[in-house]
Structure 1
């Protein structure tokens, strides 16, 4: 659950370069939840 909260907090901080990394990070969380 901590990953979800941290992910939401990181969204405003992300830059264009980190956009892809954030997407991959989110996908990993979704896969774990499933």
Structure 2
């Protein structure tokens, strides 16, 4: 179960990475906003 949650969370983070890359900011900056 933990691995499944980690995978879903990882996919969500990768989506955030993509959105952040488009905006030109890092993941940390994106999360802090």
TM-score for both structures, normalised by structure 2: 0.50
Gaps of 5+ in 1: 1-14
Residues matched between the structures, number: 20
Q: Say yes or no: does 1:33 pair with 2:20.
A: yes
Gaps of 5+ in 2: 22-33
* Cα RMSD (Å): 0.9
Distance 2:4 2:11 in 1: 13
- Structure scoring higher RCO (CA < 8 A, sep ≥ 6) equals 1
| Runs of 4+ displaced beyond 6 Å | none
Structure index of larger Rg: 2
